[in-house]
Structure 1
Amino acid sequence: MVVSVYAPASIGNVSVGFDLLGAAIQPITGELLGDVVHVKVCHPLPSHQVDNTQTHQVSLLINGPFADKLPVEAEQNIVVMCARYFLEQVTKQPYQLELALDKNLPVGSGLGSSASSVVATLKALNLAFDDVLCNSDLLKLMGEFEGKISGEIHYDNVAPSFLGGLQLMLTDLEEVSSSIPAIPNWYWIVAYSGHSLSTKTMRSLLPKQCALQTSLEAMQRLAQFVHASHSGNAEMAAKALVDVIAEPARAEAIPGFVNAKQALQNIGVLASGISGSGPTLFAVTDNLALAEEAQTYLEQNYVESQLSGFSHICKIDNQGCRSIDTADQKE
């Protein structure tokens, strides 16, 4: 039996929550914006078939529009790394796995590309092994492997991609994140320019220290956004969405971002910012016609189609990762 799991794209930071806040998104067209992993678990291997150098035998087939951006060698792919580590945690019996990855998110896009692959892989494996790990343990594994890509563990992409919705990261060792109610009538426009930016490089641009006043404003804005979201105060939530730490340091390093942000403000969106470490830009509005106007501008002035850029009008995806019938996937 083949288990197929989809993990949605995510907006990391959401302006006010650097490494602390993330949102899973779903295009309003219904198409899937995220990676899909297919897992087939073969019977446990007889001892005489076990390779002395590899306890488990794992193969990987990669498809999708961004497959060519991944390492050719399967053992260098985080999907295979995830599979091997998962098996080491849950069984002493050697297995043979056949994996397939539909790579639908561009690498280095700021849409949680690596997180989507990690979440889909570990969720699919856990389902294939009869939910041997609870959700909290599974989420911690996801964070650990996301850290292998970015250089340090943070959950603002893996938590929303796994659990759905808006997720606020916690310091409690038992609970990694807490769900925040999203403003229901907001549209989230995302535009990937087509450029690829290294998360590690973009993190290196951040200030090593912040002035006390800047830190206080950042905390106030995050607190205001969380309070407004829980109370359903859309106007207050929108006013809070200003990044005073990461965006000022990164904006000039993202081609076209500064001009696009100003143009979106002129169009009348409620707020805009950098998704994750970029170059994807996000904007929010409560008006579909205005969202379409903003998307048209971004398609014409920010998205570079020759570089496989794209844009979507989205809503918050409250489901998170889930099993899918591959026949349900839309082109």
Structure 2
Amino acid sequence: MESIKVFAPATVANVACGFDIFGFAVDNPGDELILKKSDRKGVRINRIEGDEGRLPLAAEKNTAGIAIIKFLEFIGEDGQGFEMDLKKLMPLGSGLGSSAASSVAGVFAANELMGRPLSQKDLLPFAMEGERIACGSAHADNVGPSLMGGFVVIRSYEPLDIIQLKTPQELYATIVHPHIEVNTKDARNILKREISLKNTITQMGNVAGLVAGLMLPDYDLISRSLVDVIIEPIRSILIPQFDDVKNAALENGALGCSISGSGPSMFALSKDLFTANRVGKAMQDGFAKVGIGSECYVSGINQAGPVVLG
């Protein structure tokens, strides 16, 4: 193939209690990317749509571009040229893994055009380099699920150890993105560097409970475990109406509700599609009470990861 068009999905990271270790992919939104081989050495970005001109066209400063550059260097093909068109189908700074979707789309497309020299899982370190460019930290809780699909656990970063968990087919995610922006770097900088032993034990119990609840499956256990006593109390102050929106989700049948990634998007999990849609409306109404508009996305847990569109 000389060119390819791919889609990479948005993600929910942290998933309440699992800061930097949990993440899952959703069906929408996401990013589309067209990658073409070129006779000219280097990676060039022709245009980016949907970013309001905010993202860099220089490949080495762009999450998709740097992921491809690092991939080509690793396989010894840095003389291969590429041209790229990127279409952002989700808001920037949304807490939905926007930078991760771009980097995953880029390296996945490049691997396809080069004849798949690496397995999909082995592309993860290059996608993580895109995250380093975006926020200064090469975390994997967005790129992991976007690349591999499903619900993932990052057990370790050194060495990198990623586990995919089976999730109930009836589990649905509701994501509401309010029309405000939270900078990822700011959201990380406000976090405490030390936490109490009591909160650590509580959080560890919830992490273990959520894994067990997903695998059994046990919806009541999932609900009891979707509690974050470390990160959410701090980051929630950056999101207007957070408590009201969360309570609205729970009152309308959600198993749990918390911040998606670093915010401002909020997610909820429900045990059927009808409830997930009702929860979404209630959450949007909570933001609308103070004049904040929002988008709502409802989907099952995306098991596919990136896909070829043409």
Q: Normalising by structure 2, what TM-score?
A: 0.91
Contact 1:252/1:258 (CA < 8 Å) preserved in 2? no
Contact 1:136/1:175 (CA < 8 Å) preserved in 2? no
The 2-side partners of 1:135 and 1:71 are apart by 26
What is residue 41 of structure 1 aligned with on the other side? 37
What pairs with 1:204-243 in structure 2 (closer than 5 Å)? 204-243=189-228
Instruction: Provide the aligned length of Structure 1 versus Structure 2.
Output: 308
1:260–1:172: structure 2 CA closer, same or farther, 3 Å change rule?
Answer: closer
Contact 2:70/2:126 (CA < 8 Å) preserved in 1? no
What is residue 6 of structure 1 aligned with on the other side? 7
The 2-side partners of 1:311 and 1:65 are apart by 18
1:142 equivalent to 2:127? Answer yes
Q: Aligned AA for 1:38?
A: I
Q: Aligned AA for 1:13?
A: N
What pairs with 1:58-73 in structure 2 (closer than 5 Å)? 58-71=43-56
2:265 corresponds, among 252, 268, 280, to 280
The 2-side partners of 1:323 and 1:275 are apart by 26
Query: 1:203: Cα distance to partner?
Result: 0.9
Query: 1:299: Cα distance to partner?
Result: 3.1
Query: 1:92: Cα distance to partner?
Result: 5.0
Q: Normalising by structure 1, what TM-score?
A: 0.86
Query: 1:85: Cα distance to partner?
Result: 2.6
Q: Report percent identity of matched pairs.
A: 30
The 1-side partners of 2:14 and 2:301 are apart by 15
Query: 1:60: Cα distance to partner?
Result: 1.4
1:257 equivalent to 2:242? Answer yes
Which of 259-268 and 211-220 deviates more?
A: 259-268
Query: 1:175: Cα distance to partner?
Result: 5.3
Which of 128-137 and 168-177 deviates more?
A: 168-177
The 2-side partners of 1:181 and 1:293 are apart by 25
The 2-side partners of 1:39 and 1:209 are apart by 44
Query: 1:249: Cα distance to partner?
Result: 0.7
Query: 1:297: Cα distance to partner?
Result: 2.5
* 3-state DSSP of counterpart to 2:187: helix
What pairs with 1:1-331 in structure 2 (closer than 5 Å)? 1-26=2-27, 32-43=28-39, 45=40, 56-71=41-56, 76-91=61-76, 94-171=79-156, 176-302=161-287, 309-325=294-310
1:75–1:167: structure 2 CA closer, same or farther, 3 Å change rule?
Answer: closer
For 1:208-254, what per-residue CA distance to the aligned partner results, in whole angstroms no more than 9, with x for missing partners? 11110100000011011111212111211121100111000111111
Contact 2:174/2:297 (CA < 8 Å) preserved in 1? yes
The 2-side partners of 1:16 and 1:112 are apart by 18
Contact 1:303/1:310 (CA < 8 Å) preserved in 2? no
Q: CA RMSD in A?
A: 2.2
* 3-state DSSP of counterpart to 2:147: helix
For 1:86-115, what per-residue CA distance to the aligned partner results, in whole angstroms no more than 9, with x for missing partners? 322223562332111011121111000000
Contact 1:170/1:177 (CA < 8 Å) preserved in 2? yes
The 2-side partners of 1:106 and 1:289 are apart by 26
Q: Aligned AA for 2:130?
A: F
Consecutive unaligned residues of structure 1, counting only runs of 5 or more, are 27-31, 46-55, 326-331
| More strand, by proportion | 2
The 2-side partners of 1:218 and 1:298 are apart by 25
Contact 1:194/1:303 (CA < 8 Å) preserved in 2? no
* 3-state DSSP of counterpart to 1:133: coil
